[in-house]
């Protein structure tokens, strides 16, 4: 019977052996029913080739929408380059990550912006409530938006980007233009999104510092309105162009040797009282110090520049010259104390003897010390000491004889020193002059001591 079946061609001996072999029985159906294997980058190739129908079929068949080539280029990036919105939507629906970056640290949106694919930009933005940080494609995206020349697009991109972007030549130019045009939308936006103070180029001092040193109060105010830091520091000592704008040798010295100089210190050193007041109004820290051992504050810079108005601006609550004022006459060896324009008292004093002259000038009382001792002259006691403009001399109690007797300080009788120490606030203007008061004025003095 078996031979008859074989003879009829219905079952050969080889086929019979296969039928009884379990391995053979399962192998044959596998070869005939398995789906053909797809190349991993077949979807990317279809999108790059703009074969949209094939890309659609591959996605439907389960192709990986995240598969990228050796440069990190994904199908979504390729679709953005082409500006094909239906494929962009399909890829995102299939799980393609919009925030993926390639070797250039560029996202799909970055490509769409760079190539000005407006519809692709809209589609991608609709799926991204927030945009990547600077190091993850944000810097590239901002640069592409700046290069687009489209203010509305730039505004849209910048507002969605987190802060911390790196200033680029294009960003600096954009800020400079916003500053010149008084653009109250783009100027603040750029300052908010880019890290640190803007400068005109790498290695240059901040633009705010340039405005201060040039005395451009309007530009200083505009930048502060935009959100510039009133405590901006000058951290580029190698900026020769900036250094040439400064005539003061001591400011140049500290710029070259000291870190942490602020624009407030600079304004004080440049005798720019209006700028000092403006910076203080906007929150500048009057007691911020430089880095290192010196720990300089803005008040020192104003004192070194011999600008009593600037010193007073830096001392909170300092009285105006019309409110409280002291005048010292070296030639007459007398001092006069005024309040609200009226003479309160006059007194004899002793100023510097030959070799230790008291320097004429306009000063401000910058600090007071009831029990001061000299750090120069053998720890000499100087009770009720009122220092002048952060210098090494001041007014204090001492022996007076209406003659030149001190080492440069202005000695006062004990009771007068105590009265002035009590009544005269820090910030009071003190004029030290050669020459006496007019006779008529001297005759009218109410309280001679």
The larger pLDDT score, comparing residue 446 to residue 48, is at 48
Confidence of residue 18 (pLDDT cuts 50, 70, 90): very low
Query: Structure tokens of 338?
Result: 């005024």
Q: DSSP secondary structure string, 49-87? A: TT-HHHHHHHHHTT--TT---TT---HHHHHHHHT-HHH
Output the pLDDT for position 437.
52
Confidence of residue 381 (pLDDT cuts 50, 70, 90): confident
Confidence of residue 233 (pLDDT cuts 50, 70, 90): very high
Q: Look at phi and psi of residue 329 and say left if phi exceeds 0, alpha if psi is from -120 to 50, else beta.
A: beta
Contacts of 244 (CB under 8 A, 6+ apart): none
**Residue 330 · residue 432 · CB < 8 Å:** yes
Count of other CB atoms within 10 angstroms of residue 42: 17
Query: Kind and range of the H or E element at 431?
Result: strand 429-433
Does residue 449 surpass a pLDDT of 90?
no
Output the pLDDT for position 435.
72
Output the pLDDT for position 446.
42
**Residue 339 · residue 323 · CB < 8 Å:** yes
| % of the chain surpassing 90 pLDDT | 77
Contacts of 181 (CB under 8 A, 6+ apart): none
Rg from Cα positions in the chain: 40
- Domain at 324-443, CATH class: mainly beta
Q: 182-196 b/e with 16+ CB inside 10 Å = b?
A: ebeebbbbbbebbee
Does residue 330 surpass a pLDDT of 60?
yes
Confidence of residue 407 (pLDDT cuts 50, 70, 90): confident
Across the range 114-136, mean pLDDT stands at 94
Output the pLDDT for position 228.
98
Among 1.10.287.3510, 2.40.110.10, 3.10.50.40, 1.25.40.20, name the CATH number for the domain at 39-128.
1.25.40.20
Contacts of 204 (CB under 8 A, 6+ apart): 236, 239, 241, 242
Confidence of residue 242 (pLDDT cuts 50, 70, 90): very high
Across the range 274-302, mean pLDDT stands at 95
- Domain at 201-314, CATH class: mainly alpha
| % of the chain surpassing 70 pLDDT | 87
**Residue of 192, 128, 141, 211 lying closest to 170 (CA atoms):** 141
**Alpha helical stretches, state H, 34-168:** 42-48, 52-60, 75-82, 85-93, 108-114, 118-126, 138-148, 151-160
**Residue 212 · residue 284 · CB < 8 Å:** no
> HSE (CB half, 13 Å, CA atoms) of 25?
6
Output the pLDDT for position 447.
41
Contacts of 142 (CB under 8 A, 6+ apart): 157, 158, 161, 165, 168, 171, 193
Q: What is the dihedral of CA 25, 26, 31, 37, to 10 degrees?
A: -170
Does residue 103 surpass a pLDDT of 60?
yes
Output the pLDDT for position 436.
59
Confidence of residue 40 (pLDDT cuts 50, 70, 90): confident
Across the range 118-141, mean pLDDT stands at 94
Output the pLDDT for position 344.
97
Output the pLDDT for position 356.
85
Contacts of 310 (CB under 8 A, 6+ apart): 268, 271, 272, 273, 276, 302
Output the pLDDT for position 382.
77
Confidence of residue 380 (pLDDT cuts 50, 70, 90): confident
Output the pLDDT for position 352.
85
Does residue 209 surpass a pLDDT of 90?
yes
Output the pLDDT for position 444.
40
Output the pLDDT for position 353.
82
Over the stretch 71-90, which tens digit does the pLDDT of each residue have? 999 999 999 999 999 999 99
Q: What are phi and psi of 388, to 5 degrees?
A: -105, 115
Confidence of residue 401 (pLDDT cuts 50, 70, 90): confident
Q: Domains of the chain: which residue ranges?
A: 2-29, 39-128, 141-195, 201-314, 324-443
**Residue 406 · residue 412 · CB < 8 Å:** no
Does residue 6 surpass a pLDDT of 90?
no
> HSE (CB half, 13 Å, CA atoms) of 86?
7
Confidence of residue 390 (pLDDT cuts 50, 70, 90): very high
Are 201-314 and 324-443 in the same CATH fold?
Answer: no
**Residue 42 · residue 35 · CB < 8 Å:** no
Task: Please identify which residue in the block is written with the tokens 């070259």.
Answer: 256
Does residue 265 surpass a pLDDT of 70?
yes
Q: DSSP secondary structure string, 191-246? A: HHHBSS---SSTTPPPHHHHHHHTT-HHHHHHHHHHT--TT-B---TT-HHHHHT-
Does residue 34 surpass a pLDDT of 60?
no
Across the range 170-182, mean pLDDT stands at 96
Does residue 173 surpass a pLDDT of 80?
yes
By the 10 Å C-beta count (0-12 exposed, 13-18 middle, 19+ buried), 422 is classed as: exposed
Over the stretch 412-424, which tens digit does the pLDDT of each residue have? 999 999 999 999 9
What would the 3-class secondary structure string for 356-409 be? CCCCCEEEEEEEEEEEEECCCCCCCEEEEEEEECCCCCEEEECCCCCCCCECCC
């Amino acid at each position: 019977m078996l031979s008859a079946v074989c003879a009829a061609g219905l079952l050969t001996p080889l086929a019979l052996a296969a039928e009884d072999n379990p391995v053979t029985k399962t192998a044959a159906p596998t070869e005939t029913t398995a789906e053909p294997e797809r190349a991993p980058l077949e979807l990317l190739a279809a999108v790059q080739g703009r074969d949209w129908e094939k890309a659609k079929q591959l996605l439907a068949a389960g192709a990986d929408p995240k598969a990228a080539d050796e440069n990190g280029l994904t199908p979504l990036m390729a679709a953005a380059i082409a500006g094909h919105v239906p494929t962009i939507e399909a890829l995102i629906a299939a799980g393609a990550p919009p925030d993926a970056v390639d070797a250039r640290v560029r996202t799909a949106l970055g490509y769409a912006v760079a190539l000005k694919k407006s519809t692709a930009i809209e589609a991608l933005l609709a799926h991204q409530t927030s945009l990547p940080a600077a190091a993850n494609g944000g810097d590239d995206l901002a640069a592409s938006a700046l290069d687009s020349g489209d203010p509305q697009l730039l505004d849209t991109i910048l507002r969605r980007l987190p802060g911390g972007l790196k200033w680029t030549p294009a960003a600096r130019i954009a800020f400079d233009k916003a500053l010149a045009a008084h653009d109250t939308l783009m100027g603040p936006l750029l300052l908010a999104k880019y890290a640190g103070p803007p400068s005109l180029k790498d290695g240059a001092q901040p633009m705010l510092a340039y405005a201060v040193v040039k005395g451009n109060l309007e530009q200083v105010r505009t930048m502060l309105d935009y959100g510039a830091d009133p405590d901006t520091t000058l951290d580029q000592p190698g900026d020769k162009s900036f250094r040439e704008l400064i005539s003061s040798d001591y400011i140049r010295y500290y710029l070259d040797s000291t870190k942490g100089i602020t624009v407030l210190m600079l304004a004080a050193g440049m005798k720019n009282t209006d700028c000092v007041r403006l910076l203080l109004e906007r929150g500048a820290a009057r007691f911020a110090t430089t880095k290192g051992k010196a720990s300089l504050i803005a008040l020192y810079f104003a004192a070194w520049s011999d600008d009593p108005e600037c010193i007073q601006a830096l001392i909170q609550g300092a009285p105006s010259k019309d409110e409280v004022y002291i005048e010292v006459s070296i030639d007459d060896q007398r001092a006069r104390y005024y309040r609200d324009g009226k003479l309160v008292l006059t007194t004899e004093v002793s100023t510097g003897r030959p070799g230790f002259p008291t320097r004429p000038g306009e000063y401000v009382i910058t600090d007071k010390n009831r029990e001061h001792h000299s750090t120069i002259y053998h720890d000499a006691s100087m009770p009720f000491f009122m220092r002048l403009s952060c210098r090494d001399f001041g007014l204090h109690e001492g022996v007076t004889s209406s003659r030149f007797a001190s080492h440069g300080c202005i000695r006062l009788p004990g009771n007068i020193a105590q009265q002035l120490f009590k009544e005269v606030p820090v910030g009071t203007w003190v004029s030290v002059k050669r020459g006496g008061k007019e006779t008529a004025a001297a005759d009218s003095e109410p309280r001679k001591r």
